[in-house]
Amino acid sequence: MSTQKPALRLEGILKTFPGVRALDNVSFSVIPGEVHALMGENGAGKSTLMKVLGGLYQPDDGQIIIDEQPVVMTSPLQAKSKGIVFIHQELSLAEELTVAENIYLGELPHKSFGRVDWKKLHAQTDSILQRLKVGFNAKTRVGELSIANQQMVEIARALTVEAKAVIFDEPTASLTDAEKVVLFDVITDLKSHGVGIIYISHRMEEIFKITDRISVLRDGQYRGTLNTAETTDDEITQLMIGRKLDLSRNASHHEVGDVALEVRELSCGALFKNIDFEVRRGEVVGFYGLVGAGRTEIAETLFGLREPTAGQIYLDGAEVTIHSPADAIAKGISLVPEDRKGQGLVLGMNCRDNMTLPQVEGLKFGPFVAETDEVAIFDKYKERLDIRTPGWKQTVGNLSGGNQQKIVIAKWLSMHPSILIVDEPTRGIDVGSKSEIHNLIRELASQGYAVIVISSEMPEVLHVSDRIIAMYSGEIMRTFTSDEVTEDNLIQAISGITSNRAA
């Protein structure tokens, strides 16, 4: 394979920003018909490299070579005309327009006097959609499609040009397992048509399932390329973080205390029904299931963001009703939300103010905020959670995902809650910080917190949880202790295959 001429080659790319060398002499190539993974921790330079390739940044040095011809990329449009197509993690579609209009946006086929040639447009679109084997047609309004199908529209857009290389940036972030299978089929199909694919992802299982080669970046430098068939996740991780990572099953068994939270017959419309479970102090309970299984909705109900339609919630044995997040916080429940940037942090504010946001009311000195107390809290948790930031004045939006998540967790820890709910604790976080957050969750449990972890990543749930609750379509299918659980029976439970429920 390596004897083939690359479809796309980046050579000696150098890009610096004031004070930072974001890309340091990076070389990388994709051969037609291969899936080439690009891996690295957040901040390793993947996004910058892709922006150079897409013409958004101009490299300070180095070359982009397509079909043996050096090219100066000046804009995403030019990249597309050269056959370089990006499928971004965040979709950019006009929801009110049809699939066909979106796919040919800016390039609608037209007749005389600028009239759109609808017949041609729909025919062309349908032929592309057939190739992707999707269940919608050219005239469907994009807003009516699921996220997975919207992504298919983006991919269809890529197929309108003679693509030489397609770049997928974290394409599975919001897809269910079934949808992933469809996506992988499409990638395999592209591959068989001789398209070179760059696949950016943090998810090891996917990397091993779909890629041929893996290139790793660390701190803006190229660290090597591995053949997927001949490597292991340990080897990749080591290249990425420069040390060995322990992702083995959690074996620590510490004292488990009284029941802190008990939920009985909790229901919320069609979102979830008859939910029964309890969480003890010192215990991590993992919720695992597909997207849409109702896990996040249960967390939101416990945090007062949704009103349950039936059922009871008991805290330390006493029945409670929770009307609002303020109410939940006062009762010792805290939530680290799934969407860190959208719901967890005020991105324009500094680290300290974000950390003390829920308790600033209690830190008053007369009518004023007691800023010295705030700084003391910040310093304490910065050290305790090893938050890497130059100081409390740093705007949270400038921190890495891992450090942002630590700020959110610190925000709640400093309030001394009794129950900590963490929804997707490591979404979009690099491998190194991931294990730190996992360790932190374990440590919190050992200190007596009752912790609920919701995750879509099986290794994560297996790693951190003492018990795992498997959900399918709004119902609890089974509760596993860490001795019983295997990857197989867990997958069966969340796919709705098993019917032997246990509360």
Partner 1 sequence: MEPGTLSTFLKRGAIWGFIVFELIFFSLAGEFLSFSDKAFMDLDNMLLLFKQSAPIGIIAVGMTIIMINGNIDLSVGATYALSAIVLLDSMTWPMFAGMGNAVIPIAWGLALLTGVVLGALNGLIVWKTGVDAFIVTLGAMLGYRGLVFMYNGEQPTSHLNWTLVDFAEAQFLGLHTATWFLVAVTAAVWFLMNKTVHGRNAYAIGDNRAAATNAGIRVGPHMLINFMIIGFLASLSAVAFYSESGSVNPNDGELYELWVITAVVLGGTKLTGGAGSVLSTLGGVLAIQLLRKGLGHIGADTETVNLAIGIILIAVLLLDRQLNIKGKEELRV
Shortest CB 494 distance to partner 1, Å: 27
348 is a contact residue toward partner 1 (CB under 8 A): yes
106 is a contact residue toward partner 1 (CB under 8 A): no
41 in helix, strand or coil? coil
234 is a contact residue toward partner 1 (CB under 8 A): no
Q: What count of other Cβ atoms lies within 10 Å of the Cβ of residue 275?
A: 23
Of 40 and 337, CB closest to partner 1: 337
Report the C-alpha gap between 419 and 445 in whole angstroms: 10
376 is a contact residue toward partner 1 (CB under 8 A): no
Which of 369, 375, 458, 491 touches partner 1 by CB under 8 A? Answer: 369
Which of 6, 32, 40, 43 touches partner 1 by CB under 8 A? Answer: 43
Q: In sequence order, what are the beta bridge partners of 318?
A: 315
Token pair belonging to 315: 């805290």
52-60 CB contacts, 8 Å cutoff, 24+ apart? 52/10, 52/13, 52/15, 52/23, 53/8, 53/10, 53/79, 53/84, 53/167, 54/79, 54/84, 54/86, 55/79, 57/15, 59/13, 59/14, 59/15, 59/23, 60/14, 60/15, 60/16
Which of 107, 162, 234, 361 touches partner 1 by CB under 8 A? Answer: 361
From the centroid of its chain, how far is CA 71? 33
Burial environment of residue 295 by CB neighbours within 10 A (0 to 12, 13 to 18, 19 or more):
buried
| Binding piece for partner 1, criterion CB under 8 A, among 13-21, 76-84, 182-190, 247-255 | 13-21
317 is a contact residue toward partner 1 (CB under 8 A): no
Which of 106, 229, 248, 368 touches partner 1 by CB under 8 A? Answer: 368
70 is a contact residue toward partner 1 (CB under 8 A): no
Give the ranges where 133-220 is alpha helix by DSSP (H): 147-159, 177-192, 204-210
401 is a contact residue toward partner 1 (CB under 8 A): no
Of 331 and 442, CB closest to partner 1: 331
| SS3 sequence of 408-433 | HHHHHHCCCCCEEEEECCCCCCCHHH
Report the C-alpha gap between 145 and 140 in whole angstroms: 8
Which of 28, 86, 222, 303 touches partner 1 by CB under 8 A? Answer: 303
Which of 342, 483, 488, 499 touches partner 1 by CB under 8 A? Answer: 342
48 is a contact residue toward partner 1 (CB under 8 A): yes
Of 363 and 375, CB closest to partner 1: 363
Of 325 and 432, CB closest to partner 1: 325
Name the residues that contact partner 1, by CB under 8 A: 17-20, 22, 43, 47-48, 303, 305, 324-326, 328-330, 335, 337, 342-349, 353, 357-358, 360-361, 363-364, 367-369, 398, 411
